[in-house]
Amino acid sequence: MSTNLPTAPEAEFAGRIALVTGGASGIGLALSRRLAAGGATVVVADHNEASAHEAVAELEATGARAAAVALDVTDPVSVEAGVRYTVDTFGALHLAVNNAGIGGPSRPTGEYGIEDWDKVVATNLSGVFYSLRFELPAILAAGGGAVVNMSSILGTNGFAGSPAYVAAKHGVVGLTKTAALEYADRNIRINAVGPGFIDTPLLRDTDAPARDHLISLHPAGRLGTSEEVAELTAFLLSDRASFIHGSYHLVDGGYSAS
């Protein structure tokens, strides 16, 4: 089946400033491209500053307005500085995608390393909280906007060997719902997206049997694409989703239905 996606409405995000964490590679890069294609000014925030600048050069080559900032989501000082840079550079913040995340090692819960647990939870859950903590006041100051937090299909399912990742992604869903309740009447919509297994460079490096197993978990018979995740995310950030608050939307090829 074709995975070609519709052309982005060129002006749907015109005049809006967007911040994308983990925005320089994989799903994050697809998100940065999609928002720029919709007319947003995009701040690509990534722990890899060189990759962030490369992404910005690509966006600017298409005529988009963009900027790069080094950002470590596990460090609230770094997150605060990234949000401040966005506002100082472009005058406001309207849209945010809290996408930065890591996988972590595969170990049973009773054998999982304490340091590994702390690292995964710090990135995938605390990093989303830190981002919201500093983004929401900035979005309020701009008069409102929208946020999407990147969870996972494992925000609703378990997965043997990934206790930290699963716990963190479940936590992102709960945090999203709570923040959405707090800000729904303040003109900020907050939602979450749960991708299935996506065909990113990381998964392309897995061996054929492991990749085939992951594909078999999806009734659609394939892995998803970063662009498919970005398209759903763009919809949730857009005015087309104006009555959607605190929802958790799966883009998983039927994974959760099986």
* Pairwise CA distance, residues 29 & 193, whole Å: 16
Question: What are the DSSP calls for 95-156, one per residue?
Answer: EEEE----------GGG--HHHHHHHHIIIIIHHHHHHHHHHHHHHHTT-EEEEEE--GGGT
Name, in order, each residue with C-beta under 8 angstroms of 212's C-beta and a sequence gap of 6 or more: none
165 is catalytic: yes
For the chain, report the end-to-end CA distance as a whole number of angstroms.
20
- What DSSP string describes 225-237? -HHHHHHHHHHHH
Interior/surface letters 84-121, b for 16+ CB within 10 angstroms, e for the rest: ebbbeebebbbbbbbbbbbebeebeeeebeeeebebbb
Q: Are 134 and 233 in contact (CB under 8 A)?
A: no
Spot the catalytic one: 112, 130, 165, 183: 165
Please list the active-site residues: 165
